[in-house]
Amino acid sequence: FWHFMCVEHLVPDRRNKCVHGLLLPQSVSRQPVHGRVMIPASYYLINTDTKRERQTAELAIMYCCNFCLLQQKKARPEKKELGVVTYNIPTPPGEKKDVLSPLPDSYSPQFVEAAWYSWWEKQGFFKPEYGPNPCGVFMMCIPPPNVTGSLHLGHALTNAIQDCLTRWHRMRGETTLWNPGCDHAGIATQVVVEKKLMKERKMSRHDLGRENFIQEVWKWKNEKGDRIYHQLKKLGSSLDWDRACFTMDDKLSFAVQEAFIRMHEEGVIYRSKRLVNWSCTLNSAISDIEVDKKELTGRSLLPVPGYNEKVEFGVLVSFSYKVEGSDEEVVVATTRIETMLGDTAVAVHPNDSRYQHLNGKMVVHPFCDRKMPIFTVPCRCTGAVKITPAHDHNDYEVGERHKLPFINILDENGLLINGMKRFEARKAVLQALKDLGQFKEVKDNPMVVPVCSRSKDIVEPLLKPQWYVDCREMGKQAADVVRNGELKIIPDHHLKTWFNWMDNIRDWCISRQLWWGHRIPAYFVTLNDPSDMDGHYWVSGRSQEEAREKAAKRFNVTADKISLRQDEDVLDTWFSSGIFPFSIFGWPNESEDLRVFYPGTVLETGHDILFFWVARMVMMSLKLTGSLPFKEVYLHAVVRDAHGRKMSKSLGNVIDPLDVITGISLEGLYALLMDSNLDPLEIEKAKQGQKSDYPSGIPECGTDALRFALCAYTSQGRDINLDVNRILGYRHFCNKLWNAVKFAMRTLGEGFVPWLCGSESVSDRWILSRLSAAVALCDSGFQAYDFSTITTAIYNFWLYELCDVYLESVKPVLSRTDSEGQKQADICRQTLYTCLEVGLRLLSPLMPFVTEELFQRLPRRHAQDSPPSICVTPYPETSEVSSAQRSKVMANSFPPPTASHFNECNELSVSVNMLVSKSFSANQGLIDLEKEVTKLTAKKGELEKQMEKMKEKMAKNDYKEKVPVKVQEADAEKASRMEGKQFV
């Protein structure tokens, strides 16, 4: 079956030759091709040195194969989808699965995924100690998930990518460690447990007390931590579980304490009273990056925790202050009218003629006798502005410069001194101003409302003493290591954001008014000495005894005069997470693990925690260890639902990965909502969302399909709109693999022995070239963290090239019974085996379960020395699949291309046989047959001599006794290969 390209007449100067297109077989189109020469595409597949020609030649073969198959294929009845098949052979945990039992008729995730993980784990495949290492070290730590519940699909994406990278590096022979762990998630976990207590027992944490409440949180952690690890194992994550850690473990807690004390002693950590972002719901300070900015275009009603009715925002209220001793007034405006209770000054623009004469005078507060100065402050706006130093970040700086009083009108719960709630006070103040005649107007005003990302409360600027980290020098270092190339951030469009944040970094508030977390190792010192009039100092210490000794030394008194009280606050969760890459290896103690595995190789995480976590790790690692925590950072996109919406429990679109793996009904999704901490209104809203998105529930997709889909979605720089139907499509792809291997197992037969023949036909060499291209794309894709390229290359090879073209084209050859046909069929079987064996290894990092199941069923080329599992088998290299093609080209002396005519074959049935025949390799008429016969005869003679020597060696009487068994096996294999070469 000849495949032709239409090319111009060939001339000595190859630069004038160009490819125009394809010419269909004569049986399809009998139109003459005037002025052009027809050259077999397969000839260029072997001989061309032009990339464009080679690609066109490959397409020619592929398209013509498809055409031929379409002509020959008869309509087949659609197969009915089989039910769920399970693995029912008793297999103790950790024992290898029975791979001698017959495969089910179709792919079933429950059958495939049974038993493998516990066997991998017991065999120690996930440990870095597995096997010697000449190839280097790969180390990556997991972004520790919060123990606030179950993993969602965002976590599944993170772990799919990380496990692919880990398995790829492991298959490349590197010492590989992927370290698991969980984060205590201070604020998030405390909020969840408090809601649970209130829902189940109608109790607050204050009702229980600190110690009892912490015990309740530990119970929650033990329950949810086990659930999270179970989910990770179901996802196939090849983590070294013996190294699993928790950020509140003794080892990590000691490291957190040491980090705080060292930085405090250096002055990097300090205590200061200043405005903080305060959550009245949490009764705690939060950092700037934990504040969401909600943009409003005008008047809006927003829900606020603790209020039955929504609260009005997005309006500007104008009112007046009376000037002392005159009838004049100054009109000011604010979006937070309740804060006027804390006003201590009025600032006017120096160029505003209305108020220039008032500079230096006083205005009188309408609700008390407080007199407030009027002064000029250069600013962008005209007119006058109220100054509230204790409740506005900008006003705080003005108050500092002008020595204004700081009047705090709110307590930690957001209540005024009389017990009124802050947003109820908003209404009361407005009404009182109206009663006094000092209210002017209210109008729509676009604004940004600060919202706590944890509690959804409106953030209140509040004046509180807190602990801070001085980030100026640390931020500069973190920016410099990226600028000079020591740390690489991928994709690079995040660089601008990184530099902007680091170059303008603020000091980091690290204290939280919580009970769950690492208690700050700082002590409030009181000197029992009448001469001490102040008595308020802070020292840090690893214990009370150490803190007392520090205090006595600092104040030059005896220890018995020191009274200590440990700070009640805990550290920001991101402080402990910031030292995670080295605290897991025992820092500050020197250990073998710290020496071998730190710094790590890469950090893979979502770009949404670039500053929450990544920046903290870089800064604190440089500060405390003097080195970077990793060499590269790969940031993947955020997972959204199929409509592009952010995952939210209240929308009902937060999905447990296990529900995608095993499937779940719509009623099952409803039941999960009812068991959550959502309030009734949110539950009803979530139900509507689930009914819209999953009217029939979620079908069983399996782990491999989920992992492959998540990696296929990954495209650098774009958010991921995840559609469950696409995941289901990859389950069908698994079924395609299943059927391909089942067909191959029937074709290969029980006595099949893999060997490299070097006598492949055109179709064999074509599929090997496609396999080689897929291997090259996967290798470059892993190197560049381009997972969409990897999945596309693998999918196209297996589905479109191997299954749709090659397998269909070789079926007539495999069914031949004549002697020549049998030789051709044997070569086809060897090629098919190579494609399956290499193709499964290529796919293994992405689909570990189905590839293990099928790989275990295939025979081995070197059965005695082959690794026990596909996950520790070498990852494919292009040299593996190109050797046969190279040997074929080198074995024949092809002359330069010449213009020749070849007759097309009219019969399609004959055409198929010619396509896969070893005799059709574009050699006819192109090589000197006499020279080739002479060359092959000489080669045969050499083989016969080697064969004779080998037989003599193996025939010696003491051969069996003296020669080691492994050497005997190697000799037998070598003899078998020689016979194979003689055969071809």
Short-list 696, 801, 636, 606, CA closest to 145:
606
Q: With 0-12 CB in 10 A as exposed, 13-18 as middle and 19+ as buried, what is 595?
A: exposed
Q: Kindly report the pTM of this predicted structure.
A: 0.80
Pairing of strands 537-540, 522-527: antiparallel
Please say whether the dihedral angle defined by the alpha carbons of residues 333, 334, 335 and 338, taken in this order, is positive or negative.
negative
Give residue-wise pLDDT tens across range 335-389. Answer: 999 999 999 999 998 888 888 899 999 999 999 989 999 999 876 566 899 999 9
Q: Report d(CA 806, CA 764) in Å as an integer.
A: 8
Asked whether the predicted pLDDT for residue 666 surpasses 50, the reply is yes
pLDDT for res 646: 75
**Orientation of helix 495-503 relative to helix 615-624, angle to 10°:** 60
DSSP state of 85: -
pLDDT band at 53 (very low <50, low <70, confident <90, very high): low
CA atoms within 13 A on the CB side of 1: 28
Question: Tokens standing for 213?
Answer: 């409440």
pLDDT for res 377: 85
Which residue blocks in 437-572 are alpha helix, DSSP H? 472-483, 495-503, 544-555
C-beta separation of 278 from 462 below 8 A: yes
Q: Report d(CA 526, CA 541) in Å as an integer.
A: 15
Q: Which residue has the higher pLDDT, 526 or 311?
A: 311
- Whose tokens are 């059958």? That residue is 111
pLDDT for res 20: 34
Find the radius of gyration of the CA atoms of the chain. 37
Please say whether the dihedral angle defined by the alpha carbons of residues 742, 746, 749 and 754, taken in this order, is positive or negative.
negative
What is the average pLDDT across 102-107? 92
Q: Report d(CA 162, CA 143) in Å as an integer.
A: 10
Give residue-wise pLDDT tens across range 241-279. Answer: 999 999 999 999 999 999 999 999 999 999 999 999 999
Share of the chain above pLDDT 70, in %: 82
Q: Report d(CA 1, CA 68) in Å as an integer.
A: 9
Question: Tokens standing for 162?
Answer: 């990380």
pLDDT for res 54: 56
Give residue-wise pLDDT tens across range 759-809. Answer: 778 889 999 999 999 999 999 999 999 999 999 999 999 999 999 999 999
Which residue blocks in 484-611 are alpha helix, DSSP H? 495-503, 544-555, 573-578, 580-583, 592-597
Q: Out of 643-657, 684-698, 781-795, give the one with best mean pLDDT.
A: 781-795
Pairing of strands 175-179, 137-141: parallel
CA atoms within 13 A on the CB side of 45: 29
Asked whether the predicted pLDDT for residue 652 surpasses 90, the reply is no
Neighbours of 585 (CB within 10 A): 25
pLDDT for res 108: 95
- Whose tokens are 């370290």? That residue is 179
Q: Which residue has the higher pLDDT, 157 or 818?
A: 157
What is the average pLDDT across 476-493? 96
pLDDT band at 51 (very low <50, low <70, confident <90, very high): low
Q: Report d(CA 763, CA 220) in Å as an integer.
A: 60
Q: Report d(CA 53, CA 48) in Å as an integer.
A: 7
Q: With 0-12 CB in 10 A as exposed, 13-18 as middle and 19+ as buried, what is 427?
A: middle
pLDDT band at 641 (very low <50, low <70, confident <90, very high): confident
Short-list 225, 272, 288, 181, CA closest to 579:
181
pLDDT band at 980 (very low <50, low <70, confident <90, very high): low
pLDDT for res 674: 86
Q: Report d(CA 167, CA 159) in Å as an integer.
A: 12
Give residue-wise pLDDT tens across range 419-445. Answer: 999 999 999 999 999 999 999 999 999
DSSP class per residue in 426-447: HHHHHHHHHHHT-EEEEEE--E
Short-list 304, 148, 288, 154, CA closest to 572:
288
Distances (CA, A) of 693 to 402, 651, 666, 731, 846: 58, 11, 10, 20, 27
Give me the chain's average pLDDT, please. Answer: 84
C-beta separation of 332 from 316 below 8 A: no
For the chain, helix (H) and strand (E) counts, in that order, are: 33, 32
Residue type (1 letter), 118: S
Distances (CA, A) of 843 to 73, 432, 441, 875: 29, 72, 68, 9
pLDDT band at 24 (very low <50, low <70, confident <90, very high): very low
C-beta separation of 364 from 324 below 8 A: yes
DSSP class per residue in 241-262: GGG-EETTSHHHHHHHHHHHHH
Residue type (1 letter), 177: L
pLDDT for res 43: 41
Give residue-wise pLDDT tens across range 142-151. Answer: 999 988 878 9
Strand partners, 606: 636
Backbone torsions φ then ψ of 491, nearest 5 degrees: -70, 160
Asked whether the predicted pLDDT for residue 572 surpasses 90, the reply is yes
pLDDT for res 247: 96
- Whose tokens are 């650098």? That residue is 716
What is the average pLDDT across 874-878? 90
Pairing of strands 19-23, 371-376: unpaired
Q: Report d(CA 724, CA 131) in Å as an integer.
A: 39
Asked whether the predicted pLDDT for residue 551 surpasses 80, the reply is yes
Distances (CA, A) of 873 to 139, 313, 845, 868: 19, 61, 11, 8
Which residue blocks in 508-614 are alpha helix, DSSP H? 544-555, 573-578, 580-583, 592-597
- Measure the CA angle with vertex 32, ends 30 and 35; round to 5°: 160
pLDDT for res 451: 95
pLDDT for res 883: 55
Q: Report d(CA 981, CA 967) in Å as an integer.
A: 21
Q: Report d(CA 132, CA 250) in Å as an integer.
A: 32
C-beta separation of 494 from 459 below 8 A: no
Q: How many residues does the chain have?
A: 984
Q: With 0-12 CB in 10 A as exposed, 13-18 as middle and 19+ as buried, what is 412?
A: middle
Question: Tokens standing for 334?
Answer: 């604010």
Q: With 0-12 CB in 10 A as exposed, 13-18 as middle and 19+ as buried, what is 424?
A: middle
Asked whether the predicted pLDDT for residue 621 surpasses 60, the reply is yes
Give residue-wise pLDDT tens across range 65-103. Answer: 554 544 444 445 454 454 689 999 999 999 999 999 999
pLDDT for res 756: 65
Neighbours of 854 (CB within 10 A): 28
Q: With 0-12 CB in 10 A as exposed, 13-18 as middle and 19+ as buried, what is 792?
A: middle
Q: Report d(CA 306, CA 967) in Å as an integer.
A: 79
pLDDT band at 717 (very low <50, low <70, confident <90, very high): low
Distances (CA, A) of 641 to 609, 628, 655, 694: 19, 35, 10, 12
pLDDT for res 863: 66
- Whose tokens are 């170059």? That residue is 503
Q: Report d(CA 948, CA 975) in Å as an integer.
A: 10
pLDDT for res 378: 78
Asked whether the predicted pLDDT for residue 860 surpasses 90, the reply is no
Short-list 752, 607, 608, 627, CA closest to 617:
627
DSSP state of 96: P
Q: What is the 3-state secondary structure (H, E, C) of 150-191?
A: CCCHHHHHHHHHHHHHHHHHHHCCCEEEEECEEECCHHHHHH
pLDDT for res 2: 37
